[in-house]
Amino acid sequence: MRERDIETYLREQVKAVGGRAYKFVSPGSAGVPDRLVLFPGGRAAFAELKAPGRKPTALQIAQGEKIRKLGFPVVVIDSKQGVDEFIQAHAEVSKQ
């Protein structure tokens, strides 16, 4: 499975729960997560997508930590199961 397949699956699953998964590009800020995910109820999270078994680079880890320090969830997802777990966790929080 390729990273692109996991990214497509993420977009589809987020849309199915009423959210949006925007491609996140920040010129001049390399290493930012791939997707800004917005859930109903005003919840936002960032997702770094990887092919199965691949790990984020040191720069991606550092950028993720900066975003986490601002109070936003940042997850690394490398499988469809990981997408499902991410959706379940964040969609449930959105319902509260």
Instruction: Domain of residue 49: give its range.
Output: 3-95
- The predicted structure's pLDDT at residue 93: 58
Residue 10 burial (10 A CB sphere; 0-12, 13-18, 19+): buried
Q: What is the CATH number of the domain that holds 48?
A: 3.40.1350.10
Q: Work out how many domains the chain is built from and give that number.
A: 1
What does the pLDDT read at residue 87?
A: 96
pLDDT in single tens digits along all 96 residues of the chain: 899 999 999 999 999 999 999 998 899 999 999 999 999 999 999 999 999 999 999 999 999 999 999 999 999 999 999 999 999 998 765 555
Instruction: Give me the pLDDT at residue 69, please.
Output: 98
The pLDDT value given to residue 90: 87
